[in-house]
């Protein structure tokens, strides 16, 4: 199996792996995201992987590092790795186990073998994984619309929709969805989750904070004990669990993962602001829809999916091999790290005509989703079990934001539909001018 030279390994580490880790694998570090945007680092990373593919061929490429790691360069190989997870490609890779150990040591993503199967089944039941419209949609959508409306009232008064206001109401919605309305104001549980995730960014380089973790766990148990009807906590109380499930330790992943869902919704609004035709379509989709009632907004969902394709919130999908695996170019030994770099799979302009365009039609049934691996939610047996729930809530939020209001961005944050979309778009420094539509 091809192995990169020391010089090429150093380039791959500097241009692909280090920027990925520096921005924060578990929680984004805003100053570094701003720097990454300025330098458009993901464009450089994609170019570097294209260069390596030209030199070494499309098979997995081993790097000359003390920690055995291989880069996946071929879309078919990416599909294989995801389809054959978690055996022989285990999802709880070494780095991930250490990173997640800071705040969810018994979460499904940090598990393998029998505990993984048990916890995965539990997650799927509560998140109602296969259903495009979650079984609690009636209750959950009301919470989304409530929070969107309060946010819009605040923004209308000032004529500005800011990132901070958006995220404040986003996380209120998340706490109401996960724990119930009684937890709407508990910012501490969100802050603790954020602080533990920031520790997780350092993986095994940072000691675990027992005090913070215990405080976080106590808040979780306090809220879950109420089992409020119409929330995921209420559903958890009715869902059978075994002694190895550790139900409350599945929740940190949900809180964690609603953060990128907010980022994806926000960037979808940025995309629509820059693409008037698509904005018109998004507005007309919700014109006569009561967003509090269960619905499937196909176009709004496609816009969120496009936001995630252009700027994946999980840019690195990591695996470790549990046994030797055979490839057309040779054998990859057991214990090897495997890295799928989502921006390369989604935006390889040598392979994909749409790489740098905003193209919601990729997700609306006009295209064959199996033709190329677009994997914002991963794929295969480890695919995000929250995918449908996320798309329900994010599309409802996006739908509500555009239903009666219009938005403008200043030129420096505006995306021009006639230009290629940037490789990185920093969501944190965005403020929309907004008003109620005439
Ligand atoms: C935009 C938002 C989200 C994105 C892009 C996303 C994406 C992902 C990805 C890429 C994985 C990793 C799979 C792998 O390693 O192959 C994952 C795992 C997971 N996600 Fe999400 N996710 C999001 C939101 C959520 C939400 C809101 C929940 C729960 C309410 C959730 C629950 C989970 C769980 C439990 C796993 C672990 C699955 C396993 O290990 O089997 N996700 N997600």
Residues of the chain with pLDDT under 70: 366-367, 369-370
Q: How many Å lie between the centroid of ligand 1 and the Cα of residue 89? A: 17
**pLDDT of res. 24:** 72
Residue boundaries of the structural domains of the chain: 6-436
The CA distances from residue 37 to 159, 269, 379, in Å, are 27, 18, 27
Closest atom of ligand 1 relative to the 96 alpha carbon: 15
- Ligand 1 within 6 A of CB of 110: no
- Ligand 1 within 6 A of CB of 90: no
Name the CATH superfamily for 6-436. Answer: Cytochrome P450 (1.10.630.10)
- Ligand 1 within 6 A of CB of 389: yes
- Ligand 1 within 6 A of CB of 313: yes
**pLDDT of res. 36:** 86
**pLDDT of res. 369:** 61
**pLDDT of res. 263:** 97
- Ligand 1 within 6 A of CB of 258: yes
Q: How many Å lie between the centroid of ligand 1 and the Cα of residue 377? A: 6
**pLDDT of res. 63:** 97
- Ligand 1 within 6 A of CB of 263: no
**pLDDT of res. 426:** 95
Listed in sequence order, the residues at least 6 apart from 165 whose beta carbon sits closer than 8 Å to its beta carbon are 151, 154, 155
- Ligand 1 within 6 A of CB of 129: no
**pLDDT of res. 198:** 86
- Ligand 1 within 6 A of CB of 127: yes
Tell me the best of 377, 393, 395, 398 to mutate to test the pocket of ligand 1, counting ligand atoms within 8 Å of each CB and taking the most: 377
Q: Whose CA is nearest to atom 1 of ligand 1?
A: 261
Rounded Cα distance, 326 and 228, in Å: 50
């Amino acid at each position: 199996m091809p192995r990169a030279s020391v010089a090429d390994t150093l380039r791959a580490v500097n241009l692909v792996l280090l920027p990925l880790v520096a921005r924060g694998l578990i929680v984004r570090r805003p100053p570094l995201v701003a720097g990454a945007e300025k330098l458009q680092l993901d464009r450089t990373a994609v170019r570097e992987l294209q260069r390596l593919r030209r030199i070494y061929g499309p098979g997995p490429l081993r790097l000359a590092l003390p920690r055995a790691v291989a880069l996946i360069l071929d879309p078919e190989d990416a599909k294989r790795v995801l389809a054959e997870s978690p055996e022989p490609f285990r999802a709880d890779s070494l780095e991930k186990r250490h990173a997640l150990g800071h705040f969810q040591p018994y979460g499904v993503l940090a598990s393998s073998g029998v505990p993984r199967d048990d916890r995965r089944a539990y997650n799927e039941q509560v998140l109602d994984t296969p259903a495009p419209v979650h079984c609690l949609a009636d209750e959950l959508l009301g919470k989304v619309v409530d929070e969107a409306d309060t946010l819009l009232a605040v923004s209308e008064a000032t004529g500005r929709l800011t990132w901070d206001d958006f995220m404040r109401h986003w996380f209120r919605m998340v706490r109401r969805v996960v724990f119930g309305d009684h937890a709407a104001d508990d910012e501490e549980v969100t802050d603790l989750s954020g602080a533990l995730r920031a520790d997780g960014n350092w993986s095994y380089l940072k000691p675990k904070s027992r005090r913070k973790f215990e405080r976080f766990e106590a808040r979780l148990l306090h809220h879950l004990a109420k089992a409020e009807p119409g929330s995921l906590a209420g559903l958890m109380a009715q869902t059978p669990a075994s002694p190895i499930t550790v139900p409350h330790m599945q929740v940190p992943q949900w809180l964690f993962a609603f953060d990128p869902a907010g980022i994806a919704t926000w960037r979808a609004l940025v995309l629509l602001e820059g693409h008037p035709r698509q904005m018109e379509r998004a507005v007309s989709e919700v014109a006569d829809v009561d967003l509090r009632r269960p619905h499937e907004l196909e176009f709004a969902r496609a816009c969120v999916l496009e936001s995630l394709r252009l700027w994946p919130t999980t840019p690195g999908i990591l695996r470790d091999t549990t046994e030797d695996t055979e490839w057309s170019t040779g054998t990859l030994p057991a214990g090897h790290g495997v890295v799928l770099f989502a921006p390369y799979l989604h935006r390889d302009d040598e392979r994909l005509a749409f790489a740098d365009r905003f193209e919601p039609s990729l997700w609306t049934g006009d295209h064959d989703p199996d033709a190329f691996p677009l994997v914002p939610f991963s794929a295969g047996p480890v695919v995000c079990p929250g995918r449908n729930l996320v798309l329900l809530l994010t599309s409802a939020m996006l739908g509500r934001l555009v239903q009666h209001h219009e938005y403008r961005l200043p030129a420096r944050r505006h995306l021009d539909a006639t230009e290629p979309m940037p490789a990185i778009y920093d969501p944190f420094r965005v403020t929309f001018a907004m008003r109620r539509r005439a």
